[in-house]
Amino acid sequence: MILTTDRLMLRPLELSDLDTTHKYASDHANTKYMVHLPNRDMQETASFLQRVVNEWQKETPQFYEFAIILDNRHIGAACVHLDESRQEGELGWIIHKNYRGKGYATEAAKAVLDFAKDNLKVKKIIAHCDYRNEASVKVMQKIGLSFESGDGVRRNKNSDEDVQDFMYSRRL
């Protein structure tokens, strides 16, 4: 399963992506707004990648985690997690901080959104972010999602405080 855009290739994350995944997934500055990151050590990243590989091997995966590849370099990941009905998908993405601000997250998120709509026949896409994460809000808006709620609360892994969670969505 390979998705392509003008500048990127998205392919399933693999165990061989351990070093590059760990670089962005363990960096506190890169993950400060993330609920499940940063990873504490290489083993935590390896366990995550093993879950991803196992999921890709299922006949009907509940989530699809893609490596974002730019000029043969793994620079991040984008995913869609499906609800039990497989009618709603939740998008997520992360880009290594050295590649931010160039539109790669938007391009990858749009590719995964299109995959969910066209291949998985998802009827609604949602995405969440920490209210302070202006970059993610911009990505959500650029791919056509609209603000749905600011009532949620989240606790990011790197923090001991609860913060406001924004949810954006789009009917497909």
**Would you list the domain boundaries of the chain?**
3-127
Query: pLDDT per residue over 110-149, tens digit each?
Result: 999 999 999 999 999 999 999 999 999 999 999 999 999 9
Per-residue model confidence (pLDDT) at position 147: 98
The residues with which 168 forms a beta bridge, in sequence order, are 127, 147
**Which pairs with CB-CB distance under 8 Å and at least 24 residues apart come from 148-155?**
152/128, 154/35, 154/128, 154/130, 155/35
Count how many residues are written for the chain. Answer: 172
- pTM score, two decimals? 0.95
pLDDT at 95: 97
CATH code, residues 3-127: 3.40.630.30
Residue 160 has pLDDT above 90, yes or no: no
Nearest to 89 by CA among 122, 114, 119, 50: 122
Per-residue confidence (pLDDT) for residue 157, from 0 to 100: 87
